[in-house]
Structure 1
Amino acid sequence: MMRTLLLALCCLACNAFAADQTDLEKLRQRILALQHDFDKSAESKSDAADALRDSERAISDRNRALARLEQQQQAGRQVLQRLQRKGDQARENVRLQQSRLGKLLYRQYLSRTEEDYLKLLLGDDDPNRLARNLHYLGYIARERGHALRAQQDALSALKQATRETEAQQAELDELRTAERAELTQLKREQANHQQTLRRISLQLKQQRREIGRLQRNEARLSRLLQELSGALPETGGDAFRRDKGHLPLPVDGKVSNQFGSRRPDSTLSWTGWFIRARDRQPVQTIAAGRVVYADWLRGFGNLLIVDHGQGYMSLYGNNQTLYKQVGDTLRTGELIAAVGNSGGNEDSGLYFELRYKGQPLNPTSWIKHP
């Protein structure tokens, strides 16, 4: 009965996993189709910010790869430390067993030679003394056998620890080589990005103030959110609502605008916060959830969107690096991105929004911040 129940539970878990993977793949396909529509639009061919797209995507991908390599190296270093401790213990064990074996051999040498042993068997007339001596010599022989086997085991353990340590060290060397290659490529991407910025700087300044372009950016984001909402089940969300007013600020910085206030040189209003912060500063998710979008979007740069359930979403834009990808599950406060000014922004910082069923929410009512 119990076995049948366990098999049934396993089948249910496998089916749920397969269904989740299928839903995730459908979500990815919808996002790709939407991105294709955005990219082939007439505006895309003339938008200065789009000239940054490839380099900013590449920089984000490269930094994410470097972060993953660093995590692997950190895990590898921890394994190496454990193996080194194991090797130290094995060497100490070898030393102890050698000392023990040496003492036993010395005791046997002091007691009797093999010739004495034969004399003991053939010439001792006292049966009690003979019994004691035989017992003593037998004890020493058994101990010597145990000590020899222990010595062999200790040497084998030391050899195994040495092999494992050498293999782990070789793996770390490979990771360091890969990291150096990624860093070299990252420097190239950053140099290309700076050249692109210099080439289109004047055009970017003009386009930042175009009301029509800002409206199209907002419409593009709204359409993306509508597509995401239609593809996601409305589950969870209770914990997110309960934490209203106590959610953490996603990055350590200063909010430079008020929700609903007018944007500079524009008739449009802010639907989120721009939080000024240093370049590459860590960005953390405000609550548990799942990543439903992680890509470059015109007007928002490298953008990450987290679904918190029941229509609640948080948006993190203008990042230099996105560390997470679509489908990743997140804990509250987990590192998800690094601050930047992607998407043609003049200032370094994080663009942050809260949405409920696609509609903007005032972060002031939800976020606890100084």
Structure 2
Amino acid sequence: MAANATARPVRGATGIVRLALFAFLLTGTAQAQEQVTPAQVKALKEEIEEINEWLSEAEEDRSELEQTLARTEKEISRLTRERRELQDRRRQQARELEALEQQEKDLDQNLQEQRSALKQQLRGAWMEGQAPAIKVLLNEANPQEIARTMTYYEYLSGDNLQRLETFNNTLAELETTRQRKLEAQAEVVRLEKEAEQRHQALQARKATREKTLASLEQDIAARQNQRSSLEADRERLEKLLKEVEEAIANIPSPTETEPFSKRRGGLAWPAEGRLVAAFGGSMAQGHLRRNGILVNTEEEAEIKAVHYGRVVFSNWLRGFGMMTIIDHGEGYMTLYGHSSSLLTSPGDWVRAGETIALAGRTGGTTDPAVYFELRHNGKPQNPTGWLKRR
């Protein structure tokens, strides 16, 4: 979507993946590491130095609006992730608070039962006290009766002491539980306040994003037409994918699950929503054909991996916004664009159905959506033939 769709920005976008994959090669499995030679590492380091030099020059060429948009959307991604983590912590704290409240209720009921039993026993002891033990000794009862009665008094006294001790222990435990409950309530309030602060900051960033996006769209409209913008975005993505394929050429393919090629017609959709743009559909007044599909969904809806694989790209790409690319082996890759927040990093292994991002409107879309693309040996495939019918 940028105005100056030159070779430089294309190389810059693909350069990002080299940086990510360099870390991926250094931190991958032992099997992958054994295939990385010193010469490859040296070549990658030289490439990184060259890319860093290019990045310094390219920043001067990129428009200020594009830089602002990229920073804002990355900030939105970070804030969304932090708010999600806070919400998870708050739910966990709420469950702990609920357990403490139930414990308090049980202890209070137990305490009431102990208090009632203790009162009853003390009342009985008091009633028996109207004829104290000394009177029993003075009675004309036989010695066996005297011994049995005195034993009863001793047992009654010891039982009272034990009940009092149990009562005091329960009372102390109840007080401790109530204190923990107060602390848990305070923590819930704190987490709610912090989550609200993140929410307000997120809304402010989104407002900034909308303003920046509007200005950027005006700037793009003034400098170039839709066809040249889409062609530049597609060229940038093609070069990115080529860089990815070259970088992972010697890395072992995933083997822990059923091969991707066996999953035709059985893959789950990457997100819930309505298909609004089909594969092969017309773009740019009929000059281009769509290489993927577009699914309209809810803001921050979960985007899930369609199959087991390894994340090879997780960053912002012009025209596609926050994007994730997963390598599934056998030459198959899936792409997920327009996310509001990325939840994985290059090198992460993901399972089928695992949440990898949250849906959004990055990369220039006006409504929350997920762009999904499937490639085999670099060539776009119709995803709907691989996804489950619905």
Q: Structure 2: state its 5+ residue gaps.
A: 1-23, 34-40
152-161 or 234-243, which moves further after superposition? Answer: 234-243
Aligned runs of 1:43-58 on 2, under 5 Å? 45-46=62-63, 49-58=66-75
213-222 or 142-151, which moves further after superposition? Answer: 213-222
Aligned runs of 1:235-314 on 2, under 5 Å? 235-236=254-255, 238-241=257-260, 242-260=262-280, 263-265=283-285, 267-309=287-329, 311-314=331-334
CA deviations on 1:303-357 (whole Å, 9 max, x unpaired) are 1233445554322101123344456554433433332221123454211122345
Distance in 1 of aligned mates of 2:103 and 2:290: 59
**AA aligned opposite 2:114:** Q
Matched, 1:127 2:143: yes
Matched, 1:213 2:229: no
What is residue 164 of structure 2 aligned with on the other side?
148
What is residue 192 of structure 1 aligned with on the other side?
208
Distance in 2 of aligned mates of 1:35 and 1:129: 104
Select the residue among 189, 201, 216 that pairs with 1:173: 189
What is residue 387 of structure 2 aligned with on the other side?
367
Distance in 2 of aligned mates of 1:183 and 1:154: 43
Distance in 2 of aligned mates of 1:125 and 1:268: 115
308-317 or 193-202, which moves further after superposition? Answer: 308-317
CA deviations on 1:207-260 (whole Å, 9 max, x unpaired) are 642154134322343145326635854222642534331111112233344434
What is residue 248 of structure 2 aligned with on the other side?
229
115-124 or 144-153, which moves further after superposition? Answer: 115-124
Quickly say closer, same or farther: Cα 1:290–1:90, change in 2 above 3 A.
farther
Quickly say closer, same or farther: Cα 1:109–1:196, change in 2 above 3 A.
same
Deviation at 1:149, TM superposition (A): 1.9
Matched, 1:98 2:102: no
**AA aligned opposite 1:23:** G
CA contact (8 A) 1:315 1:352 kept: yes
Structure-1-length-normalised TM-score:
0.80
Q: What is the SS of the residue equivalent to 1:316? A: strand
Structure-2-length-normalised TM-score:
0.76
What is residue 360 of structure 2 aligned with on the other side?
340
What is residue 73 of structure 1 aligned with on the other side?
90
42-51 or 348-357, which moves further after superposition? Answer: 42-51
CA contact (8 A) 2:226 2:284 kept: no
Deviation at 1:151, TM superposition (A): 0.6
Q: Structure 1: state its 5+ residue gaps.
A: 1-18
Distance in 2 of aligned mates of 1:150 and 1:77: 30
Q: Percent identity?
A: 27
Quickly say closer, same or farther: Cα 1:219–1:292, change in 2 above 3 A.
closer
CA contact (8 A) 1:236 1:310 kept: no
Distance in 2 of aligned mates of 1:357 and 1:38: 29
Deviation at 1:55, TM superposition (A): 0.9
Deviation at 1:73, TM superposition (A): 0.5
Distance in 1 of aligned mates of 2:78 and 2:357: 11
Distance in 1 of aligned mates of 2:274 and 2:359: 13
CA deviations on 1:177-202 (whole Å, 9 max, x unpaired) are 21122122212212211221222222
Matched, 1:64 2:81: yes
**AA aligned opposite 1:105:** L
CA contact (8 A) 2:227 2:287 kept: no
Deviation at 1:125, TM superposition (A): 4.1
Deviation at 1:168, TM superposition (A): 1.5
CA deviations on 1:144-202 (whole Å, 9 max, x unpaired) are 12211211221122122112212222222221221122122212212211221222222
Quickly say closer, same or farther: Cα 1:100–1:61, change in 2 above 3 A.
same
Quickly say closer, same or farther: Cα 1:83–1:36, change in 2 above 3 A.
farther
225-234 or 174-183, which moves further after superposition? Answer: 225-234
What is residue 82 of structure 1 aligned with on the other side?
99
Q: What is the SS of the residue equivalent to 2:319? A: coil
Select the residue among 17, 23, 29 that pairs with 2:28: 23
Q: What is the SS of the residue equivalent to 2:109? A: helix
Quickly say closer, same or farther: Cα 1:278–1:70, change in 2 above 3 A.
closer
What is residue 10 of structure 1 aligned with on the other side?
none
CA deviations on 1:241-299 (whole Å, 9 max, x unpaired) are 34331111112233344434553346444332222334443323323445443321222
203-212 or 82-91, which moves further after superposition? Answer: 203-212
Quickly say closer, same or farther: Cα 1:123–1:176, change in 2 above 3 A.
same
Distance in 1 of aligned mates of 2:140 and 2:348: 83
What is residue 10 of structure 2 aligned with on the other side?
none
Quickly say closer, same or farther: Cα 1:111–1:306, change in 2 above 3 A.
farther
